[in-house]
């Protein structure tokens, strides 16, 4: 069979549905890939030759050696369609942030009205980000972070960042400025449209006060501040404040905050008389220390902090707070309840595996709820883990249940054998079948008796009563079987002796070889029946 190359090529082209998509959709698909791969698509066909040059989303991920990557990036920028704006840039690289290619891409992107910038750096030594990275009239979303496994600090400029259009800023693993002369630092006052600010695992070097001055800031998240500083929030529009595991000596909060989430190791000093608009508050203090009692000073600071949050409507407190305050009932009883607007109070125990030990004192309950009697109160504590004695008891219960199940199964089999024996008598079956049936029944009786002896007396009463009824049925069946298949008293005695001898040898075999109960009788014993008796 011959192939038509032209026809095959034509079919491939006709079935290339991706190339038939509009440029905007192809660009959106390619924006998920690194620019190195995107540039390589120019080899696919003439349709793809220049598609990459009009990409508005650029993803640069450095490769070794860095000079080769810098040259590649320069070629990408120089051959790009300069009439097309750059909407977003993702830059992930190793080495110093002061490298020339970092400045080059920043200047190029900002000159093309960049709106979203993500920079992830893996530095090898101490260095500073270039100042050109912190000034743009068009940038709206900025994410700047060091790789979490890098221990070399990347320093940012100490002068205010110039982002008049910026609305969202996310900083992670960052060292903010490094100045040994100034007592305070202000970085965001020129970000006049900033609404969402997240600082995660950050360090503010050698200053006493960190000023966050942002006129439109609505959401602020501070996570893991590495140095003890005072934070001065001048943000009149701030609504949601989250502070987690930060070494903050003092926190000046604007009056309009409606949602506060705080997590730390001890009560913090909050600005006084500022929380007049609080709606939702979550306070988690990890004060519990194994083998160490709470200190009265901890309780006093906790009470003072809670009094500042008196306007809260939905309040969540960690179980450590309850435990600490409950350790000083006399101290708590001297303070009136500060909460008069509570709709819901929740005690969170998720961070303590031993929270089942915590008991809330009456004084603490009154302190929290006395002025809000209609508030919904929720305190769910984990179950106490089982002790060694409880585990042993549970094991015994399981063993008894398993043993009872085995007895039930054997008694069911025994009933089946009895019913089968009745059928043998009714149908006048051969003697061998009758003999096998008697042997089977006798074996099951022995097995059930053995299992019953292993059960405690109080657990086997009901089973023994049922077993007694089965024994009566078995005795009646044996009489019927022997009357049908044995013709004389002499044969009857011999038959009974044969059964008895077999059962004795059966019990010994099971004991020696640990075979499972109910093993079949050896063929030699069953065949000897016909030769010993004449029916």
Do the Cβ atoms of 350 and 381 come closer than 8 Å?
no
Do the Cβ atoms of 192 and 184 come closer than 8 Å?
no
Q: What is the pLDDT of residue 362?
A: 95
Question: Any idea what DSSP says for residue 374?
Answer: T
Residues of the chain scoring pLDDT < 70: 1-15, 97-98, 125-126, 148-154, 178-182, 268-269, 290, 425-432, 434-435, 482, 484-492, 494-535
Q: What is the pLDDT of residue 427?
A: 57
Q: What is the pLDDT of residue 531?
A: 43
H/E stretch holding 244: strand 240-244
Q: Report the distance separating Cα 55 and Cα 26, nearest Å.
A: 9
Give the pairing of strands 280-285 and 314-318: parallel
Distances (CA, A) of 455 to 396, 463, 466: 11, 10, 15
Q: What is the Cα Rg of the chain in Å?
A: 42
Angle at 439 between CA 433 and CA 441, to 5 degrees: 100
Q: What is the pLDDT of residue 528?
A: 45
Which candidate, 91, 63, 94, places its Cα nearest to that of 77? 91
Q: Report the distance separating Cα 335 and Cα 366, nearest Å.
A: 10
H/E stretch holding 335: none
Q: What's the pLDDT tens digit per position in 232-262?
A: 999 999 999 999 988 888 888 888 899 999 9
Which candidate, 225, 294, 218, places its Cα nearest to that of 264? 225
What is the per-residue burial (b if ≥16 Cβ within 10 Å, else e) of 369-408?
bebbeebeeebebeeeeeeeeeeeeeeeeeeeeebbeebe
Q: Report the distance separating Cα 518 and Cα 440, nearest Å.
A: 7
Q: What is the pLDDT of residue 117?
A: 96
Do the Cβ atoms of 249 and 266 come closer than 8 Å?
no
pTM of model > 0.85? no
């Amino acid at each position: 069979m011959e192939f038509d190359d032209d026809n095959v090529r034509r079919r491939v082209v006709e079935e290339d549905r991706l190339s038939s998509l509009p440029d905007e959709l192809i660009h959106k698909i390619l924006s998920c890939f690194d620019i190195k791969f995107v540039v390589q698509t120019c080899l696919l066909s003439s349709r793809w030759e220049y598609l990459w040059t009009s990409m508005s989303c650029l993803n640069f991920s450095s490769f070794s050696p860095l000079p080769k990557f810098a040259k590649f990036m320069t070629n990408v920028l120089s051959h790009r369609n300069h009439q097309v704006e750059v909407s977003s840039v993702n830059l992930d690289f190793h080495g110093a942030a002061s490298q020339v290619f970092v400045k080059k891409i920043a200047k190029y992107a900002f000159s093309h009205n960049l709106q979203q910038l993500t920079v992830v750096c893996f530095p090898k030594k101490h260095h500073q980000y270039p100042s050109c990275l912190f000034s743009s009239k068009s940038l709206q979303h900025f994410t700047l972070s060091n790789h979490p496994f890098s221990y070399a600090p990347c320093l940012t400029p100490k002068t205010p960042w110039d982002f008049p259009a910026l609305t969202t800023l996310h900083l992670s693993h960052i060292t903010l400025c490094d100045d040994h002369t100034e007592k305070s630092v202000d970085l965001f006052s020129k970000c006049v449209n900033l609404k969402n600010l997240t600082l995660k695992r950050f360090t503010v070097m050698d200053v006493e006060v960190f000023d966050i001055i942002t006129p439109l800031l609505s959401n602020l998240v501070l996570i893991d501040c590495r140095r003890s500083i005072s934070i001065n929030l001048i943000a009149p529009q701030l609504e949601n404040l989250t502070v987690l595991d930060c070494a903050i000596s003092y926190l000046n909060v604007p009056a309009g905050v409606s949602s506060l989430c705080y997590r730390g190791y001890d009560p913090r000093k909050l600005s006084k008389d500022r929380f007049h608009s609080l709606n939702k508050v979550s306070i988690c203090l990890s004060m519990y220390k194994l083998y160490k009692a709470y200190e009265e000073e901890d309780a006093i600071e906790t009470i003072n902090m809670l009094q500042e949050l008196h306007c809260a409507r939905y309040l969540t407190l960690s179980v450590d707070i309850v435990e600490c305050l409950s350790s000083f009932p006399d101290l708590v009883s001297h303070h009136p309840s500060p909460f008069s607007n509570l709709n819901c109070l929740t005690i969170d125990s998720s961070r303590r595996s031993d929270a089942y030990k915590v008991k809330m004192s009456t004084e603490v309950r009154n302190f929290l709820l006395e002025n809000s009697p209609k508030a919904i109160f929720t305190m769910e504590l984990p179950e106490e883990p089982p002790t060694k004695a409880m585990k042993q008891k549970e094991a015994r219960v399981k063993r008894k249940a398993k043993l009872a199940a085995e007895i039930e199964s054997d008694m069911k089999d025994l009933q089946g054998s009895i019913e089968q024996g009745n059928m043998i008598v009714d149908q006048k079956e051969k003697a061998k079948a009758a003999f096998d049936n008697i042997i089977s029944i006798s074996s099951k009786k022995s097995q059930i008796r053995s299992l019953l002896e292993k059960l405690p007396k109080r657990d086997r009463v009901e089973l023994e009563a049922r077993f007694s009824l089965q024994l009566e049925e078995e005795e009646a069946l044996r009489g019927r079987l022997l009357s049908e298949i044995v013709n004389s008293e002499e044969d009857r005695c011999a038959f009974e002796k044969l059964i008895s001898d077999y059962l004795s040898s059966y019990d010994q075999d099971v004991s020696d070889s640990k075979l499972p109960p109910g093993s079949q009788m050896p063929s030699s014993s069953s065949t000897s029946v016909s030769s010993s008796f004449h029916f």
